[in-house]
Structure 1
Amino acid sequence: MSDDETRLLRSLRDEHAAPLWRYVVHLTGDRALADDIVQETLLRAWRRPSVLDQSQSSARVWLFTVARNLVIDDRRSARHRHELTVETLPDTADADRIDALLESWLVAEALAALTEEHRTVLVHVYYGGRSIAETAAELDIPPGTVKSRLHYGLRALRLALQEKGVTG
């Protein structure tokens, strides 16, 4: 890498790293992940010298697009889908609740596989105990749409659970 390219890369980092980091923290809420994403984004810029030849605004757009795509890739990764965070660890395992806990995890994973619209309606009606009319009012959609999303959401949930080996 030439001295000019090194200067340009440093300039790119100095000008865009902090706003890029804030953007990724806004997307993820995770400061450590934001550090990793920004580092990977700048590494990709270093590997593509053509980015350095662009105008500052074009380079900024490129950097933010790459960072956003890295966040999306992280959210789609198996690590993210199967990783659960908790505030505190339980002291002892409760043998009577293990099956219920495993079932709730399966349902939570299956719900995560649904579209946001289906998941939202299912959560409002079944977990929130709301009626069709209450759900329609809260979500500002027609009651018929709530019924339709509920029907197709349950169907998709059943398929997602079957894919996870749950029968019945």
Structure 2
Amino acid sequence: MALWRRPRGTGEDPLDAALVDRVRAILALGGMAHADLPDGVQQVRLKVMEARAKEGGAPRDTAAWCAVVASNVAADWHRARRRRERLDERLIALRPWETVQRGGEEASALALTVAEGLEALPLEQRQVVVLRFYADLPLARIAEALEIPEGTVKSRLHTAMRVMRKRLRAEEVV
């Protein structure tokens, strides 16, 4: 049973079966979840194909190079998992004890005020707030994603946070 499919229009697979097994083992030893191993192997395969497409060609020792790339993929997987866990913890910590009724549903006063505050922000400011605090992206990645200078991201974020703080204080939620 193949865990991957060869892309159409390409020649042979850059990783032979033995190398795929070695990459899977390195990913597993790196702590990557079993369910995510096929995705990790695909990432390594993609890196090999990208390396071969560059001017320098394939690495001299593909097996050693794949081992290093697999280790890096496992480390990236852990970083992403920790980032998601921190985001979940922050969202849980925001849950205040007080709840209010709105439209027949129970919701926290803070959550309602934040949601309304986000809706009131201009689109440009709302984008940076959501990408920074909900997607947990660093400022450089936000700037890259929105194709704007990092200083503009900082400025928009600062302005949006000032407006949100003012709104939360006015509503006496915090």
Higher helix proportion (structure 1 or 2): 1
TM-score when normalising by structure 2 = 0.38
Question: By percentage of residues, which structure has more strand?
Answer: 2
